[in-house]
Amino acid sequence: MEKRTRGPYEAGRKRRARILEEAVEVFGRKGYSAGSLQEIAQRAGITTAGIMRHFDSKAELLVEVLRYWDDAQREDEKRYEGLAYFRSLRSVTEGNMAHRGFIDLYLTLSIEASRPDHPANTFVVERYKRTMDVFTKHLRLAIAAGDLPAMDEETIQYEAHLLISVLDGFAIQWMIDDKVDLLLMIGIYVDAVIERWKAGGGYRPPEEAQG
Q: How confident is the model at residue 208 (pLDDT cuts 50, 70, 90)?
A: low
Is residue 7 a part of any domain in this protein?
Answer: no
Q: Residue 57 domain-assigned?
A: no
Q: List the CATH number of the domain containing 195.
A: 1.10.357
Is pTM beyond 0.95? Reply is no
Are 54 and 63 within 8 A, CB to CB? Answer: no
Domain that holds residue 112: 66-210
Q: Which residues contact 117 (CB under 8 A, 6 or more apart)?
A: none
In a domain, 83, yes or no: yes
Determine, yes or no, domain membership for 124. Answer: yes
| DSSP string over 134-168 | HHHHHHHHHHHTTSS----HHHHHHHHHHHHHHHH
Give φ, ψ of 124 to 5 degrees.
-65, -45
DSSP 46: S
Tens-digit pLDDT profile for residues 166-196: 999 999 899 889 899 999 999 999 999 999 9
CA distance 68 to 71: 6
| Residue 158 confidence (pLDDT) above 80 | yes
Per-residue model confidence as pLDDT tens digits over 95-154:
778 767 777 777 877 788 888 888 888 888 888 999 999 999 999 999 999 999 999 999
Residue 147 counted as domain residue: yes
- The residues, ordered by sequence, that sit 6+ positions from 83 with a Cβ below 8 Å of its Cβ are 138, 142, 147, 148, 194
Count of domains for the chain? 1
Q: CA 8, 10, 16 angle in degrees (round to 5)?
A: 100
Residue 114 domain-assigned (yes or no): yes
Residue 19 inside a domain? The answer is no
CB 129 within 8 A of CB 144: no
What's the CA gap between 120 and 175, in Å, rounded? Answer: 21
* Measured distance CA(43)–CA(36) in Å, rounded: 11
**What is d(CA 101, CA 105) in angstroms, rounded to the nearest whole number?**
6
Dump pLDDT digits (tens) for 68-80: 777 766 766 678 9
Asked, for residue 21, whether it belongs to a domain, the answer is no
